[in-house]
Structure 1
């Protein structure tokens, strides 16, 4: 059965329509298709699409894997990732964080790392009387906040050593790590857990990473709420699960196709 037909619009280019339709036939279930598959789904003969398939193959949008058998070519993947990489992380995260704020009724934030600081670049503020309000542009040392520690999870031990070789850690109050070995141990535990919870100033923050198509941590998101809300275990678990789902959706739009390990149960 044909999957689509060109419209009667005089401005439609049938060959282009068929070529794009062929590319749309591939999905997670149909990774490899034959020329006969193309013809059957378009409702035309093999000879009618031979030049289209040849052109797509020469331009690397299709890749021949066997006689008359094809999979998506590297050009499709390359162009797709280039587009995803060009999108601003704020634009991608904004609607998801707004929805998250509405779900949990607590403020949500987005941050990136600049040196050893976490820089807040977006906030979805909860209007409730008891709310955490961290303005956009705020800089907090990474080792002192949940999102900062999440951002440090993307660094190797050597990169951590280089980043903190001239940074004193003993001038910060607990529970921030006071030495580099303590920081390394903390980040390793955070990495194993997959998320970070941090309490300060009568408020608790839960943060998780955002990953790009290279599976690298490029930003962090959090939910911040007053202890009056976060002291309830059920409320906290609900917040973690909602944050986990949002982080996955944002990472997917950033090009990450891997599923984060579902380590969201409180220890």
Structure 2
């Protein structure tokens, strides 16, 4: 759910600065002042002040004074959050072992707004058109990890959340109807796992389970993903799910011992 804030407490200049940083991506890794102002819907004067401030702070760089790009210092913004996650470093060895066992890519994510955010990943085969890694964001409604994370919410919160999602038809298999999505997530609550079959991208299948803290609260999701031409739905359930559950149990045990 979207948080609320009083107008007097809202810092608009901070919002604009963060929007400028978020405007840079794989397709727009370098932009001119004009391009930034159009993409973020700012005046040229506003965009210029923000870019120059970010450059002064070391988050933006330019070689010719015309095209701007993010600097490596931007990584510190996300690293502070990632380094504070108690389970991230603990889970990495288990992810590597799982990926070796099933010979498929394995990932871990957390919920952030209407997206899942990757906090760990071991890639064995590239199966998506986009490159996935730590920090990648994907829509919660079309992913197995997203549904596992939503299943960890209280019923009322989950339903309100999904009724507020603006789901796009990413593939012919994508479920966009909020009530059908609610049914799917409720089924995940009962089963303890989620299977997404080519809903995010044609050719991509994945299966996920929740990772819970010692109080039973879902804190993350772990998945195995494979290409549909190589891995059937039956294989996901019969071959991969037992390995996935076993790995989750090991990670949870390690987390419980560390706190």
**What TM-score do you get using the length of structure 2 for normalisation?**
0.59
Which residue in the other structure is 2:177 paired with? 179
**1:140 matched to 2:138:** yes
CA contact (8 A) 1:212 1:218 kept: yes
Which residue in the other structure is 1:217 paired with? 218
Alignment of 1:48-197 (within 5 A): 88-126=86-124, 128=125, 131=127, 134-169=132-167, 172-197=170-195
Which residue in the other structure is 1:255 paired with? 256
Instruction: Select the structure of larger CA radius of gyration.
Output: 1
Quickly say closer, same or farther: Cα 1:174–1:191, change in 2 above 3 A.
farther
Quickly say closer, same or farther: Cα 1:177–1:227, change in 2 above 3 A.
closer
Which residue in the other structure is 2:206 paired with? 205
Q: 1:145-169 deviations in whole A, cap 9, x for unaligned?
A: 0000000001122112443454323
Which residue in the other structure is 1:260 paired with? none
State the Cα distance separating 1:87 from its structure 2 match.
6.2
Aligned-residue RMSD, C-alpha:
2.3
Q: Name the SS for the 2:230 alignment partner.
A: helix
Q: Which has the higher helix share?
A: 2
Instruction: Tell me the distance in 2 between the aligned counterparts of 1:168 and 1:236.
Output: 29
Unaligned runs of 5+ in 2: 1-83
Q: Name the SS for the 1:254 alignment partner.
A: helix
The size of the alignment, in residue pairs, is 169
- Between 114-123 and 159-168, report the one with greater CA deviation: 159-168
State the Cα distance separating 1:214 from its structure 2 match.
0.8
Quickly say closer, same or farther: Cα 1:171–1:233, change in 2 above 3 A.
closer
Q: Which runs of 4+ in 1 moved over 4 A?
A: 130-133, 170-174
**What TM-score do you get using the length of structure 1 for normalisation?**
0.57
Q: 1:6-58 deviations in whole A, cap 9, x for unaligned?
A: xxxxxxxxxxxxxxxxxxxxxxxxxxxxxxxxxxxxxxxxxxxxxxxxxxxxx
Which residue in the other structure is 1:242 paired with? 243
Quickly say closer, same or farther: Cα 1:95–1:185, change in 2 above 3 A.
same
